[in-house]
């Protein structure tokens, strides 16, 4: 701890380490900059799919350079049952366009 070593260079008193640790722990600026130390991770679980289209996932990739057809993004769909991805070019990320492409594919 840098603060402790710098304090020890110039000062000495009983319980110096405990006081420095307490002072650093109460520093609001340091706490805001460092964030939380403990992070909980979600547990991975299996999801059994019994039929096609029971569960799907989608993501939008981009922006990419505009194509000759005016598309700039790629809508990626995957069926959890078949695990086959499908990539669909779309011009923008508007919900109406994404919904239309989902219904047509």
Q: How many residues does the chain have?
A: 105
* pTM of the predicted structure, to 2 decimals: 0.56
For each of the chain's 105 residues, which pLDDT tens digit applies? 688 888 888 888 889 899 888 888 787 777 667 666 677 777 888 888 889 889 989 999 999 999 999 999 999 999 989 889 999 999 999 999 999 988 887
Q: Which of 13, 16, 15, 14 is nearest to 3 (CA)?
A: 16
What distance in Å separates the CA atoms of residue 16 and residue 49, rounded to the nearest whole number? Answer: 60
Residue indicated by tokens 């990626």:
76
Closest residue by Cα to residue 87 from 78, 96, 97:
78
């Amino acid at each position: 701890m840098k603060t402790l070593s710098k304090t020890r260079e110039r000062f000495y008193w009983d319980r110096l380490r405990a006081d420095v640790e307490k002072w650093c722990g109460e520093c609001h600026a340091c706490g805001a900059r460092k964030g939380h130390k403990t992070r909980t991770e979600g547990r991975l679980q299996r999801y059994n799919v019994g039929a096609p289209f029971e569960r799907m996932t989608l993501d939008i990739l981009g922006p990419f350079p505009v194509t000759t057809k005016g598309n700039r993004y790629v809508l990626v769909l995957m069926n959890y049952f078949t695990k086959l991805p499908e990539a669909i070019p779309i011009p923008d990320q508007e919900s109406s366009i994404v919904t239309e492409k989902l219904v047509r594919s």
